[in-house]
Structure 1
Amino acid sequence: MAFWKQLNSIRWRILAPMVLLILASNFVVLSSTIDQLDEQLVLSLKGDLNSETDIVSVQLQASIRELMRDTAWLRGLPPIDGMMRAEANGGIDPLDNSTLQAWKNRLAIIYSEMLSAKPTRVQIRYLLADGHELVRIDRFGPNNSVRVVPVDELQDKSKRDYFLEAKHLPPGHVYLSAINLNRENGVIKQPQQGVIRAATPVYNDEGKLHGVIVINESVDEIFNDLLKLVRPSHELRITNAGGEYLLHPEPHKAFQFDYGERSNIVDDFPELQPLFFSEGGTPVNALETEFELISEKQIVVAKSINHNLLSDSGHLTVVLSADTLAALSVRQNVFQRNAYIITLTLIVALVAGLFVTRYITAPILQMRRSISRRKANLFDLPLPVNAPGETGELAQAFSELLTKLDQRQANLESEIAERKLAQEQVESNVKKLSEANAELQQFNYIASHDLQEPLRTVKSFVELLQKNYADALDGNGQTALRFIIQSTTRMQELIFGLLNYSRIGVDAPRVEVDVQSLLGSISQDLAARIAEKRGSLEFHDMPVIRAQATEVRMLFQNLISNALKFSRDGVPPVVKIFATRIDKGWQFCVSDNGIGISEEHRERIFLIFQRLHRRDEIEGTGIGLAHCKKVVEMHGGKIWVETSTDGGSCFCLTIMDE
């Protein structure tokens, strides 16, 4: 019992977590070290593979470019010009009386010397314009010696792809064929040998094709040189544009496509498929593309390079891989060494912890006894605030904290009560405002409706008086009657405008509104006024919006009518309407070339019954723009006016999404 009590003591409760913390921290450090070591080893291996891939790619490209330079150099040899001169002069060169055969022999000697100097070269040929071989030098003599192929062994290459491609090239260009196995008379030559062919056309002085120079380069020799650049623990693979192997650690897997068999890198490394094929299986051009694949078993680095400068599809892919587990084998030694260090550290920490915890827990045990004697609860805990050392300071700080928390709780409850009261007041004000708006709207409607009846009566009697008793009145009387009729008419228009203003948006739901169609309808309604003014209305590609259809129609009709009304004398009005998508809505602009609006009046014009011109100059009630503003605000937007590019007015408004 005493033993278990000791284990539950404060000292052991401190010591046990400390030991566990040491174990956990060392485990974390060890794991982190191993992970970092693994990461560094993988990064180092990946860096080596990337470096070797770059070196192999550069060397491969250098070999191919050397082949292209040599091919281009052969094009300018004197024997070729000599043969063309001899052919044009009955078989004799007029410059030195050399025969055509003499020039062919000289060309064969030069080709033989190059073949002897370049071990990677398999064949050098000169094909005539019809595809027949004129001169061919190869390494198929006794013991693979260089030989001049006899005339009876020369072949017709007019159907071969490299000849067909090269003969259409402009002067100075070199064609590179795909890499495949060497064939003689259509049959793969044994032992098999991978070759790449470089071909360049030769033109005479008249610009006609005379022949094609072809060099067969052994890629086997090039690949052997590339393998010397790679570490023995790394595996080098080279594929063509379709992913078929040209070089593989297992030689029998290379060039299987020449036998109608499949040996593709995508089958071995499916992750490399994007370098060769799209998701639909279509070949892709992956020029100068790099790819890295890191897995638990292997690290693979691939790089696509362009070996055919005349074709974007003629790329090769260099792939280097290495075994990940072999690179990570060093971590086992690191793990064992760190395990010994952790064990020794744990023993030392355990012994030291026994002494340290005894010293630390003494005042805490004293505080526990004091609290136990007082038997305090959590909310009213009498603490030994006068105790010496850290225990007293801890008790004092805890007491002050409780006091501050109580005060903060009281403040929080008071603030919540105040906010609740403010919320209730806001809701009450909103309700009153809604009721006031409804009453005001009802008042406007009733007042406008009731005012119309006496006005109609006055106007009717005045018109009757004018009709029946106009002859009995002198000129002043008749003028007075006209003024009365005009005034009552304007008053009716104002009341009608006020009535419409109060009705805007009442119980009108938002619906789909095709603004293009809407403006077309307005244009038809205003066709007579537009024709009278000799004006034009332009609008294109208007959107479909959700809005109150009637109100939006009145909005645009008011703006277009104003643009026609406030035109300059002698200048046909041009009204243009634009629409722009904005965040959560649409912005419309109605621009004209009229008289414009000065900046100091641009706010006042949107107030009800506000006019900038006398009625005898331009007719109107002064309600139209106030009407427009109310419609726009009902749709969550705003309206303003600017100066248009034509010097007139440009009314811009926004209608927000529902």
Structure 2
Amino acid sequence: MSRTLSPLAPPKPPRGLGRLPAGRWFLLVGAIVTLLFAASIAFTLKTMNDTREARATLIEVIDPLVLHTLEMSTSISNEESTMRGYGRTNEAFYLQDYDIAEKASATAKAKIEALLPRVPELRDEADRLFAATDNWRRVYAQEIVRQVPETGKDTASNLAPVNTEAFGAVRAALAAQQSHLTLLHGDAASRLERGWDVFYGALATLAAVLLLAAIAFTLLVRYVVLRPVAALQAQVRQVAAGDFDTRLNVTRPAEMAELSGHVDAMRRRVLREWRETQRAQQALADQAAELKRSNSELEQFAYVASHDLQEPLRKVSSFSQMLEQRYGDQLDDRAKQYIKFAVDGAKRMQLLINDLLDFSRVGRVTGDRVPTSTTEALQTALDNLGARIEDTGATVVHDDLPVVSGNKLLLTQLFQNLIGNAIKFRSEEPPKIVVTAERKDGMWEFACSDNGIGVDAKYADRIFLIFQRLHPRDVYPGTGIGLALCRKIVEYHGGRIWLEESPDHKGTTFRWTLEATDE
């Protein structure tokens, strides 16, 4: 009967700073560091966002506006020069160049219009530029085209004052917008530079916070963890060196103080249990000696059962047969039947004794398990059953069977019992027996299938019990130990055996597992 251990008594609570658990120390310091770190991160992220916005404004808005304004200035200048050339020469190709320049101006204007929502302060200058450009086209370009058929090459000189005034307004609007863009570009560049400066300062602050956090946690770990652990380690080493009376005591933090108290309580209990174990081991040694003596007596009993107990049975059988042979003519049929009963009973008793001996010897006197070829064990079993196989016309086929960790004698007995049962419990057809094996989860699963009379699934457990029979002895002879012996052999090899309850064929299928080997 196992003895239930009582729980250890709680250790004395620590005093002073030792009352503060390590978790509280780390929580306090961690909270402070987290707040500083969060503030630094927030400031850094804000700085990064401002810098990104300044950079985006400069690269994605201001610079493109400067470029598109320059493009528009160039295209409008091309419009003016081509239209002026057309007014002087009346050559049609100038109109083609004017159309190209006007389209370029329209494209630049569209791009400027797309960017203006992001720079609303430039809207007034852009509107003045667009209005001045439209006015120049209306009062000069369109008039040139209209008057050329009438005034010819004098058209340009006739409208020169109009061109000077209208295109001067365009140049003024362009200059105003370019000047405003220059101011915006300088402001954005300054913001970007300031943003980078602040960002680098934020990174330096964050690095300082991390450094301070590392220093704080290093000191905290040294004070709260390393020193107490080192003290406890030194005390434990003293105990491990054989000084079992050394008391384990650490004063801080609360967890280490409690731990040292519990470990010290366990030290005291282990010391006490060790002394009791010494006494128990002595008692166990005495029991082992008694068990060895008992096994020796069991071996002697097996010898007596196999020799001395069977000798009277052989005499009963022999003298009963001699009685029938010598005095058979003087005996009536009833007396002869009695003699037959006596001979049959003696033979069955002898067979039962042999089966019981085989059953008791499994795993005890059959040797160790070694890598064993199941093909060789099956072949030996088939050789032993050769006469019965030939008499019944049985067919036995098998796969290429593996090597397992087992005892060849027992595995031969296993195959012999299963195949013998398949032959015994055959149907009207000639017995056909199939033995297969497949690898599953580090084990070999074997199967022995036949086309015999089969076994009802409700007897799947009963058939493996010793002395259990499903048929009368005069129909199917036997002792009822065969399948029980098979189960004992399989369990000795670390496996299990079972009846397949729903085989996909007529007959019976037994399956069992055996431990695989690397060979």
Q: Which has the higher contact order (CA 8 A, sep 6+)?
A: 2
TM-score, normalized by length of structure 1? Answer: 0.38
Q: Which has the higher helix share?
A: 2
Larger strand proportion of the pair = 1
TM-score, scaled to structure 2: 0.47
